[in-house]
Every structure is written in structure tokens, then in C-alpha cells.
Amino acid sequence: MGRPTLLALFEVKRFLADRGALAFSIALPIVLFALMVGVFGGDTSFNSTAHVADLDGGEAARELIERIEDVDGLDVRLYTEAGLNDALDRSAVLTGFVIPAGFTGALESGTPAAVRVKRRGNGGDAGQITAAIVQGAADGLASEYELRRALGVLVSEAIPPEQVEAHTGVLLGDARRNPPVRVVTQTLDEQAEEENILDRLLPGVIVMFLLFSVTLNAQTLIEERRNGTLERLLTTQLTTGQLFAGKFLAGVSRGMLQTIVLLVLAFVVLRIAGPAALAQSAVLALVVSAAASAIALVIATAARTEDQATWGAVFITMFMTVFGGTFFPIGDSGVLELLSRFTLNRYAIDAYEGILGETATLGDATFEMALLGGVAVVCLIVARALFRVSSEAK
């Protein structure tokens, strides 16, 4: 194993031993991402189960159950009456529906019929919504039966009942398929409607904290220059070139570690995309980490003091975070779009977003990868030219 690799592994060990750096680089992004998922993410449509005991077993009861099942996000689970009561007693179910015996006959004869709602306490939010849905379905069904019955009475002398029933059925079927009144949901911001916001937030958080770690890396190097460890290393068998390479590899390793932890967590917890996307994201992370590590080296080698390194790194990372479209799309034109071209975030996030959203592959991100790689190479050349273990040492 070469000395630069040994040095990089040692730096990773230092990183893992530094609780502050770990908290900042790994724990904080996880917390931030979790908060963002809580605020922006998740499935906001209604999902519930209607717990139904069908004591009637007739045609109207079956039709009511089918209509409840047809409601988006609502499933039906059937019970016996005793089973439903038991589930309610155990609070396994908070709201249950009982279709009483004689329900179909009552509807057909025009006598009052009722679906009983049994609930514990207020039945819970989902139970109350489900009850309203069941109520609506039952009302619709009752109206249709009433219409059929009334029409049958009115025309029974002139038209055979079967013909009335068939014709009414066709009309009601048309009305269900093309209801005279519809409620249409429109999501404001069509672009946002098409995207899963998490697909952008995750890359945003990953790249933002990777860039924040640039500050830590630059500070660490300056601190080492101040306390003499860099100079001491030059009295060993390590050459200046190996020391520089080791520090670069160390930055890449820390960036990769940080990114992989976040990606794996996102994949395991949020089930974002699949293993292929994870693997491609890891390759992309390598290039992004290389660019970030090289930028940190430029800052550290150009700065003479820790303060200079800190403020230089903070300015660069904040500029890139704000203008790189970290949390929102930048659009195709305007000042923001122009500024974003000078940030790593734009290219890294675009590439991550495509891969994580499974709308693109690594091959589609060739331009972004090449650009990020180019930044890494240029920064490495500049940093190597400026690299000194101390203000005077060779």
C-alpha cells in the first residue's frame, strides 16, 4: 500500500475519531434531510381501510361495498359482526361499518335503510373521513334505488319493468362514468407536479454538506501546517508530492464516506430508486468528492491563516449552495441560471437528480461528470503549485 493511500486511510480514521466532524458531516445532514422529508415529502393522498360487516349479503350490499372499494386510497376489509365487534373492543379498529340484514330489501321496497357506523371515541381522523365516504356511497346508492323504484311505478303500465330497469341502469352507468359534477384537483406549479421533490432534496443536501466539508478540510490542513505535523511528515520518508496526494485522497475518501452513508440511508429508509441507481450515484459521488477535495486544497494552500481558509471556504460554499439550485430548480435563463453555471452544485445535483429519479443514467451525465472532473484536475494543478507544508518550507 502506497504512502498516499496510508495517509488517506489515516485521515479517515481521524475523521471517524472526531465527533464534531462526524456530527457536522453525517449526523446533521441526516437530521436535515429527515426534517425536509417530514415537511415536503411523503405520500399526502388519503389511504385507509373501511372495516365492513355485511350482514345482508344482498345485491345492494355488494354494490355498496364495490363502490367503497372503487374510491382511490380506500380498501375494504370484510368481517363477521362478531369479528368487527372484537376488533373494535381491542381498538384494532377505530371505526367499523355494519350493513344490516334486510338492507337490499329495504332499498328495493323504498323503506328506510341504514348503514350503522360503530366507532371508538371519535373514530380517528381516517375513520371520520372513511365514514363520510361510506355515507356518500350509500346516499348515491339509495338515490339510484329510489329513482329505479319511482320510474318503475310511473311507467309500469306502459313499459315492461325489465325494460325500465335496463334503461335506468344504462343512464345511471353513464352518469357514474361521466358525472355531471366533478371535483378536479390542480397542483400549482406544473414542474413541481411532475417531479418528486425528494429527488431534488437528497442531492441538494448531499452536495451542500459535501461542500461544507470543504471548509473542514481546508481548516484541518491549515491547522496541521500551524501545529507542525505537515512539516514533521516531511522529515519521514514521505515526499511533498506524496503528502499532497495523500491529502487529496483523504478529502475524496471523507467525501465518499459522507455521501455513501447518506445515499444508503436514503435508499434503505425512503426506498428511493434501486440498487443500480445507488451504484451509479456512488460513481458520481467519487467525481463530486474529487472536485470538492481539490477545491479544499486550493483554499488551504492559498490561505495563510485559519481565518482566511474558513471565510474563503464559507464564501465559496455558500455561493455554490445558494446559486447552484440546491433546493429549487433554477430555470433555463436569467441571472440565477448564469450564476449557477459557476457552481459545482448545479452540475452535481442535475446528475444526481436524474440518476436518483431513474430518469437518466450515468451515461447521460457525461457532460456533468466531465465538467466536475475538469474542475478537480484544474484545482489540483493550482493547489499543487501553491502547496507548502509551512510558510517557509519547501
Partner 1 sequence: MARMEDFLAATGLTKSFDSVQVVDSVSFTVRSQEIFGLLGPNGAGKTTTIRMLSTVLDPDDGDVTIGGHLVAKESDAVRKLIGVCPQELALYPELSAIDNLVFFGRMAGLSGSEAKESAADVLERVGLTDRAKDAVRKYSGGMKRRVNIAIALMSRPQLLFLDEPTVGIDPQSRNHIFDTVLALRDEGMTVLYTTHYMEEADRLCDRIAIMDEGRIIALGTPAELKAQVGDADTTTLEEVFLSLTGRSLRD
Among 47, 236, 305, 366, binds partner 1 (CB under 8 A): 236
What does the alpha-carbon distance between residue 220 and residue 296 come to, in Å, rounded to a whole number? 10
Q: In what order do the strands lie in the sheet with 95-99?
A: 74-79, 48-54, 95-99, 116-119
Q: What is the DSSP letter of 122?
A: T
H or E stretch including 58?
none
| Angle CA 112–118–124, to nearest 5 | 130
H or E stretch including 174?
helix 161-177
Taking CB under 8 A as the rule, does residue 306 contact partner 1?
no
Among 133, 198, 218, 233, binds partner 1 (CB under 8 A): 233
Taking CB under 8 A as the rule, does residue 47 contact partner 1?
no
Task: Give the nearer residue to partner 1 in terms of CB position, either 118 or 225.
Answer: 225
Taking CB under 8 A as the rule, does residue 229 contact partner 1?
yes
Are 81 and 99 within 8 A, CB to CB? no
Among 231, 306, 358, 364, binds partner 1 (CB under 8 A): 231
Taking CB under 8 A as the rule, does residue 304 contact partner 1?
no
Are 353 and 328 within 8 A, CB to CB? no
Site string for partner 1, 15-34 (x = CB under 8 A): --xx----------------
3-state secondary structure of 54: strand
Q: Which stretch binds partner 1 (CB under 8 A): 12-20, 130-138, 271-279, 327-335?
A: 12-20
Q: Which stretch binds partner 1 (CB under 8 A): 3-11, 55-63, 318-326, 342-350?
A: 3-11
Task: Give the nearer residue to partner 1 in terms of CB position, either 45 or 235.
Answer: 235
Nearest-10 Cα torsion for 99, 103, 104, 108: -150
Taking CB under 8 A as the rule, does residue 388 contact partner 1?
no
Q: Which residues contribute to the site for partner 1 (CB under 8 A)?
A: 3, 6-7, 10, 13-14, 17-18, 227-229, 231-238, 389-390, 392-394
